[in-house]
Structure 1
């Protein structure tokens, strides 16, 4: 069964779409995060939840 770790990001309402894209791209490329959920509030705030797989390595000894 897959297990995930989650990272919640809150972007303020003044954040442009380009800046939000850049932040998410950096997390995806360098931290191996993928987008799980994005919520855009009416006042312009963004709530983003990223996830990545937790790899469990079984001992071979």
Structure 2
């Protein structure tokens, strides 16, 4: 079982715009998140932008994404 305070990767996006849109959608639903590697994606598009959340928010975050 994951620690509720553990930070996990929810999704990896190929572009910053999509990652930011999803991050804002999560924030509207009171889910804290942050982007990792957003400054690198322009130099290395293969790596992508990781959207990170707390493990305790995983179920709700997936429900929000599924509704999109």
> For the superposition of Structure 1 and Structure 2, which TM-score range results when normalised by the shorter chain?
0.3 to 0.5
State which structure, 1 or 2, has the greater radius of gyration over its C-alpha atoms: 1
Greater helix proportion: 2
Larger strand fraction of residues: 1
Q: Give TM-score, length-normalised by structure 2.
A: 0.44
TM-score by length of 1: 0.47
